[in-house]
Protein backbone atom coordinates (compact mmCIF):
# COMPACT_ATOMS: atom_id res chain seq x y z
CA UNK A 1 0.00 0.00 0.00
CA UNK A 2 1.36 3.42 -0.97
CA UNK A 3 2.16 5.74 1.91
CA UNK A 4 0.75 9.16 1.03
CA UNK A 5 1.84 10.96 4.18
CA UNK A 6 4.30 10.38 6.99
CA UNK A 7 4.88 12.67 9.94
CA UNK A 8 7.89 11.47 11.92
CA UNK A 9 8.91 12.64 15.40
CA UNK A 10 7.00 15.93 15.14
CA UNK A 11 7.60 18.13 18.18
CA UNK A 12 6.32 21.60 18.98
CA UNK A 13 6.66 23.71 22.12
CA UNK A 14 5.27 27.04 23.15
CA UNK A 15 6.55 29.03 26.13
CA UNK A 16 5.95 26.73 29.10
CA UNK A 17 4.05 24.07 27.12
CA UNK A 18 5.20 21.04 25.13
CA UNK A 19 2.30 20.74 22.68
CA UNK A 20 3.69 17.81 20.64
CA UNK A 21 6.38 15.35 21.67
CA UNK A 22 7.77 13.16 18.85
CA UNK A 23 4.39 12.48 17.24
CA UNK A 24 4.16 9.79 14.55
CA UNK A 25 1.36 9.81 11.98
CA UNK A 26 1.01 8.18 8.59
CA UNK A 27 -1.67 7.85 5.99
CA UNK A 28 -1.87 5.27 3.23
CA UNK A 29 -3.89 5.50 0.02
CA UNK A 30 -7.55 4.70 0.65
CA UNK A 31 -7.43 5.23 4.42
CA UNK A 32 -9.57 7.59 6.46
CA UNK A 33 -8.40 8.77 9.88
CA UNK A 34 -9.88 10.78 12.72
CA UNK A 35 -7.80 12.62 15.30
CA UNK A 36 -9.56 12.33 18.63
CA UNK A 37 -8.47 13.62 22.00
CA UNK A 38 -9.04 16.02 24.84
CA UNK A 39 -8.76 19.78 24.48
CA UNK A 40 -5.10 20.66 24.50
CA UNK A 41 -3.96 17.24 23.27
CA UNK A 42 -2.27 18.78 20.21
CA UNK A 43 -4.66 17.75 17.42
CA UNK A 44 -5.00 21.25 15.98
CA UNK A 45 -1.29 21.98 16.38
CA UNK A 46 -0.37 18.84 14.44
CA UNK A 47 -2.78 19.70 11.64
CA UNK A 48 -1.60 23.33 11.50
CA UNK A 49 1.96 22.05 11.08
CA UNK A 50 0.82 19.75 8.28
CA UNK A 51 -1.05 22.64 6.63
CA UNK A 52 1.99 24.92 6.82
CA UNK A 53 0.24 27.38 9.13
CA UNK A 54 2.53 26.62 12.09
CA UNK A 55 6.25 25.69 12.06
CA UNK A 56 7.39 22.48 13.73
CA UNK A 57 10.31 22.56 16.14
CA UNK A 58 11.63 19.19 14.96
CA UNK A 59 10.69 16.12 12.97
CA UNK A 60 10.08 15.27 9.34
CA UNK A 61 7.14 15.36 6.97
CA UNK A 62 7.09 13.09 3.92
CA UNK A 63 4.51 13.34 1.13
CA UNK A 64 4.36 10.52 -1.42
CA UNK A 65 7.86 9.39 -0.42
CA UNK A 66 9.47 12.83 -0.65
CA UNK A 67 10.68 14.81 2.36
CA UNK A 68 9.04 18.25 2.42
CA UNK A 69 9.17 21.49 4.38
CA UNK A 70 6.06 23.62 4.61
CA UNK A 71 6.81 27.28 5.31
CA UNK A 72 3.29 28.42 4.48
CA UNK A 73 -0.19 27.10 3.67
CA UNK A 74 0.66 27.81 0.02
CA UNK A 75 3.51 25.25 0.23
CA UNK A 76 1.27 22.52 1.61
CA UNK A 77 -1.52 23.35 -0.83
CA UNK A 78 0.95 22.90 -3.70
CA UNK A 79 1.39 19.32 -2.41
CA UNK A 80 -2.38 18.74 -2.33
CA UNK A 81 -2.83 19.36 1.41
CA UNK A 82 -5.42 21.79 2.70
CA UNK A 83 -6.90 22.21 6.16
CA UNK A 84 -10.59 22.89 6.51
CA UNK A 85 -11.18 24.23 9.99
CA UNK A 86 -14.05 22.84 12.03
CA UNK A 87 -15.26 26.30 12.94
CA UNK A 88 -15.14 29.10 10.46
CA UNK A 89 -17.18 32.19 9.79
CA UNK A 90 -19.02 32.91 6.59
CA UNK A 91 -18.99 36.40 5.15
CA UNK A 92 -22.62 37.54 4.87
CA UNK A 93 -21.79 40.15 2.23
CA UNK A 94 -20.58 37.44 -0.17
CA UNK A 95 -22.69 35.05 -2.21
CA UNK A 96 -22.96 31.35 -1.38
CA UNK A 97 -20.58 30.56 -4.26
CA UNK A 98 -18.04 33.16 -3.08
CA UNK A 99 -18.15 31.74 0.46
CA UNK A 100 -17.67 28.17 -0.83
CA UNK A 101 -14.51 29.14 -2.70
CA UNK A 102 -13.24 31.80 -0.29
CA UNK A 103 -9.46 31.77 -0.55
CA UNK A 104 -9.41 29.25 -3.41
CA UNK A 105 -11.28 31.19 -6.08
CA UNK A 106 -10.80 30.00 -9.67
CA UNK A 107 -8.85 32.61 -11.62
CA UNK A 108 -8.20 33.48 -15.22
CA UNK A 109 -5.33 35.85 -16.03
CA UNK A 110 -5.16 36.90 -12.37
CA UNK A 111 -8.84 37.78 -12.04
CA UNK A 112 -11.58 35.73 -10.37
CA UNK A 113 -13.34 33.66 -13.03
CA UNK A 114 -16.93 34.42 -12.01
CA UNK A 115 -18.47 32.05 -14.56
CA UNK A 116 -16.37 29.10 -13.32
CA UNK A 117 -16.88 30.08 -9.68
CA UNK A 118 -20.67 29.96 -10.03
CA UNK A 119 -20.79 26.85 -12.23
CA UNK A 120 -18.45 24.95 -9.88
CA UNK A 121 -20.48 26.03 -6.85
CA UNK A 122 -23.72 24.95 -8.58
CA UNK A 123 -22.18 21.53 -9.31
CA UNK A 124 -21.14 21.09 -5.66
CA UNK A 125 -24.56 22.14 -4.37
CA UNK A 126 -26.27 19.85 -6.88
CA UNK A 127 -24.06 16.92 -5.83
CA UNK A 128 -25.10 17.31 -2.19
CA UNK A 129 -28.74 18.00 -3.03
CA UNK A 130 -28.91 21.64 -1.90
CA UNK A 131 -30.94 24.18 -3.84
CA UNK A 132 -29.72 27.74 -3.36
CA UNK A 133 -30.11 30.70 -5.69
pLDDT for residue 84? 73
Of 73, 61, 4, 64, residue with least CA distance to 32: 4
CA distance 13 to 39: 16
pLDDT for residue 87? 64
Domain layout of the chain by residue ranges: 3-78, 96-127
pLDDT for residue 132? 84
For domain 3-78, the CATH superfamily is P-loop containing nucleotide triphosphate hydrolases (3.40.50.300)
Q: What are 89-102's pLDDT values in tens digits?
A: 788 899 999 988 88
Over the chain, what HEC string results? CCEEEEEEEEEEEECCEEEEEEEEEEEECCCCCCCCCCCCCCHHHHHHHHCCCCCCCEEEEEECCEEECCCCHHHHHHCCCCCCCCCCCCCCCCCHHHHHCCCCCCEECCEECHHHHHHHHHHHHHHCCCCCC
pLDDT for residue 89? 75
Average the pLDDT over 75-101 and give the result: 84
pLDDT for residue 4? 93
CA distance 89 to 41: 24
Q: What are 118-133's pLDDT values in tens digits?
A: 999 999 999 999 988 7
Judge whether 60 and 71 are in contact, CB under 8 Å: no
pLDDT for residue 23? 96
Instruction: Tell me the residue length of the chain.
Output: 133
Q: What are 5-50's pLDDT values in tens digits?
A: 999 999 999 999 999 999 999 999 888 888 898 988 999 999 999 9
pLDDT for residue 88? 67
Amino acid sequence: MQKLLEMKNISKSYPGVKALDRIQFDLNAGEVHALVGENGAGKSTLMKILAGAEPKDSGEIWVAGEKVEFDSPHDSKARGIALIYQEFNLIPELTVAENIFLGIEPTHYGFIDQKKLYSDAAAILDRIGVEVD
